[in-house]
Each structure stands twice: as C-alpha cells, then as structure tokens.
Amino acid sequence: MNTDTITQQVRSFIADNYLLRHAEQLKNTDSFLDDGILDSTGILQLITFLGERFGVTVEDEEVTTENLDSIDKVTAYLSRKLNGVSKGQIPGVQEGLGGSL
C-alpha cells in the first residue's frame, strides 16, 4: 500500500470522526494532542482503526507521539509496519526517542 493511500485513509478517519467541520484546514503535520484534535480516548480509537483497517498490531512501546501524533507520523509509522521494518532497523532512528501518549 502506498503512502498516499495511507495518508488519505487516516485523514478520512480523523475528519469523519473528530473534525465534523473545518476538516479541510487540517494539515498533515498538525499535532493530534497539542492541537486538541484527539484526546487519549481518540488515540485508542485511532489504534483500533489502524488494526481493523490495516491489519497491524500497535504494540505498547509503539504508542508514542513519534508514531501517532499527526497524519504524517501515522503514515510513516504504518509504512514501516506494513513493510516489516522496525524502528531500530531504520538508519538514523534510535529506539526510545519521542514521548509517550
């Protein structure tokens, strides 16, 4: 699955469930938490959506702002998961960086 498809599907999920108005103003880099788009319950619903739609299991240690705090971050995370690449296998990306959600 290409990144454009992932981005569009994540954007649609967020827009349809959390941004009933002004969805067109959402940028792919907007922070879900800092911008008040999602709260902790919303993050759990996002995780459920990712599992159902993309067939991935989001491990506890993967629930970080680095992976799940914007459309771009979710797209990058899913691309790695779907391609079987863990964070530790990506050059320049270290384990343990990024905050927890």
CA–CA separation, 34 and 94 (whole Å): 23
* CATH code of residue 8: 1.10.1200.10
Residue 93 domain flag: no
Q: Indicate the DSSP class of residue 67.
A: H
Residue 89 domain flag: no
What is the count of structural domains for the chain?
1
What is the pTM assigned to this prediction?
0.81
Instruction: Give me the percent of the chain exceeding a pLDDT of 90.
Output: 70
Residue 40, judged by CB atoms within 10 A of its CB (0-12, 13-18, 19+), counts as exposed
Residue 95 domain flag: no
Q: What angle, rounded to 10 degrees, do the helices at 40-54 and 3-18 form?
A: 140
Question: Whole domain around residue 55: which residue ranges?
Answer: 3-84
pLDDT > 70? residue 87: no
Q: What is the pLDDT of residues 50-75, one digit of tens each?
A: 999 999 999 999 999 999 999 999 99
